[in-house]
Amino acid sequence: MCTMESTKSFAFYTLGCKLNFAESSYLGKTLLQNGFRKAEKGETPSICVINTCTVTDTADKKCRQTIHKIRKQYPDTYLIVTGCYAQLSAESIALMEGVDKVLGANDKFEIPQHLLTGNHQLQVSDTKKITPFYPSCSAEDRTRHFLKVQDGCDYFCTYCAIPYARGRSRNGAIADLVKQAQEVAQNGGKEIILTGVNIGDFGKSTGETCLQLLQALDQVEGIERFRISSIEPNLLTDEIIDFVASSKRFAPHFHIPLQAGSNAVLTLMHRRYDTSLFAHKIQLIKQKMPHAFIGVDVIVGMRGETDELFEQSYQFIASLPISELHVFSYSERAGTAALRIPYKVSPAIKKERSHRLLTLSNAKKQAFYQSQLGTQRSVLWESTKKNGYMSGFTENYVKVKQPYQADKINTLTSLTLTPEQLDYEI
């Protein structure tokens, strides 16, 4: 184990959601402000921080693999493990070979202090006492910026461990978030994606509302586009849909977690809506913005999801004018209420259901892309280069490509979509 000095270099390994990436970016800045420096490419970092995720069993496994890999690659590096998995499985991580420090989900925000003065291997605060909101923003390939607007969740859906890892719902103040968005614009950023655990719940800790946040951000000059990442259907109010439809900057792009298309399973999950509310939201979006892209999350194989209930779910999803599905297999999470539901779905059935939904998703995505041919859209070009092409997304999330031109990165082009421009086979 090495002793920490302020000239040490650091590297981050981030797993999981965009919120984690935004937070790693913030943590990197706090280390820089405290005299640490970013490790150069090819250099062995003095400190490695692994920011973990615990959304599923597979996420836990990936975290453990990353810890082993980093330890093997850098035997003398000071290894810190933090994030959601560290919060919920601190003791077992601390027992892993070569882990120098485990910091809880919120303790990570004081990383420099723990490095400079803390000498305990484990520093994990009680999740119930987590109340501060730490602002974070990260940039992905210079064009898309992820702005954290909210953290934590009070919903306690029966399958989900995130409220136990991240604590109660809390958020930044609108005035501060607007300032952060203005800074992004001043640095040349054109697109901001709002991130959080339960964004629609925005405002609890500041007495504001999600709609007020969107209205304030819509005024930020220089930002061409905002996207709301995932928002719970019951919190996606009709007013928010109306607002996005009339907004200058909010993109006609929605990501809504349905999780199950059967009311019986939604009840088992303790979700706060039923299928008729969900169908209403989708219809309203399509009525106001026929060109809107709608991505929907679904979990297959939740405890209690019988063949009949899955079939109901499948038929409901098939009937909706949505553009894509994000399919997840139910994963048992320690301490969650779903473990009390006796009916279990086998891994083979989960796989089969997942496959059926992915096939449905492909058909829906193809139909959506097809429907966009001949329409005029604006594309924000990104920096990735693949086979001599660059790609970008339209406001309604159609991925397009063109021959690579470095000077086009982070610029917008208006074009009428043709099959050759689509970066997706239809």
The rounded radius of gyration (Å) of the Cα atoms in the chain is: 22
CB atoms near residue 265 (< 10 Å):
22
Q: Which of 231, 312, 197 is nearest to 265 (CA)?
A: 312
Which residue is listed with tokens 């930002």?
223
151/208 with CB nearer ligand SF4: 151
Distance CA 406, CA 426 (A): 27
Non-local (6+) Cβ contacts of 7 within 8 A are 35, 36, 37
In angstroms, the first-to-last Cα distance of the chain is 54
> Is 47 a binder of ligand SF4 (CB under 6 A)?
no
In this chain, which stretch among 22-30, 62-70, 153-161, 330-338 interacts with ligand SF4, using CB under 6 A?
153-161
Shorter beta-carbon distance to ligand SF4: residue 160 or 251: 160
Within a 10 A sphere around the Cβ of 93, how many other Cβ atoms? 24
Record the tokens describing residue 202, joined without a space: 């925005």
* Contact mark string toward ligand SF4, 184..203, x via CB under 6 A: -------------xx-----
Among residues 43, 73, 156, 308, the one that binds ligand SF4 under rule CB under 6 A: 156
The answer to the question of residue 389 lying near ligand SF4 (CB under 6 A) is: no
- Contacting residue, 4, 31, 124, 153, with ligand SF4 by CB under 6 A: 153
- Residue closest to 233 by CA, chosen among 330, 137, 320: 320
300 binds ligand SF4 (CB under 6 A): no
Using rule CB under 6 A, residue 162 touches ligand SF4: yes
Q: Which residues contact 21 (CB under 8 A, 6 or more apart)?
A: 14, 138, 140, 146
What token pair was written down for 6? Answer: 């302020």
Query: Residue 90 or 157: which CB sits closer to ligand SF4?
Result: 157
- Taking CB under 6 A as the binding criterion, the range among 23-31, 158-166, 204-212, 245-253 that sits at the site for ligand SF4 is 158-166
User: What type of residue is 278?
Assistant: F
From 11, 160, 214, 260, residue interacting with ligand SF4 (rule: CB under 6 A): 160
Q: Rounded distance, CA 236 to CA 174, Å?
A: 18
Which stretch, 149-157, 235-243, 310-318, 328-336, contacts ligand SF4 (CB under 6 A)? 149-157
Q: How many Å apart are CA 217 and CA 320, to the nearest integer?
A: 30
Q: Using the rule CB under 6 A, give the single segment among 151-159, 298-306, 319-327, 337-345 that binds ligand SF4.
A: 151-159
Instruction: For the CB of residue 201, give the shortest distance to ligand SF4 in the complex, in Å.
Output: 8
Check: CB of residue 193 under 8 Å from CB of residue 146. Answer: yes
Residues near ligand SF4 (CB under 6 A), total = 10
By CB under 6 A, name the one of 134, 155, 404, 424 that touches ligand SF4. Answer: 155
Count other Cβ atoms within 10 Å, centred on residue 346: 9
- In the region spanning residues 194 to 253, those forming contacts with ligand SF4, defined by CB under 6 A, are 197-198, 232
Q: Which stretch binds ligand SF4 (CB under 6 A): 73-81, 154-162, 315-323, 324-332?
A: 154-162
SS (H, E, C) 350-402: HHHHHHHHHHHHHHHHHHHHHHHCCCEEEEEEEEEEECCEEEEEECCCCEEEE
Q: Which is nearer to ligand SF4, 90 or 258 (CB)?
A: 258
Q: Does 20 bind ligand SF4 (CB under 6 A)?
A: no
Nearer to ligand SF4, 43 or 57 (CB): 57
Q: Which range of residues in 159-167, 284-292, 404-412, 418-426 is near ligand SF4 by CB under 6 A?
A: 159-167
Task: Give yes or no for residue 331 binding ligand SF4 (CB under 6 A).
Answer: no
HSE value, Cβ hemisphere, 13 Å, CA-based, for 375? 18
Is 299 among the residues that bind ligand SF4 (CB under 6 A)?
A: no
Binding residues vs ligand SF4 (CB under 6 A): 153, 155-157, 160, 162-163, 197-198, 232
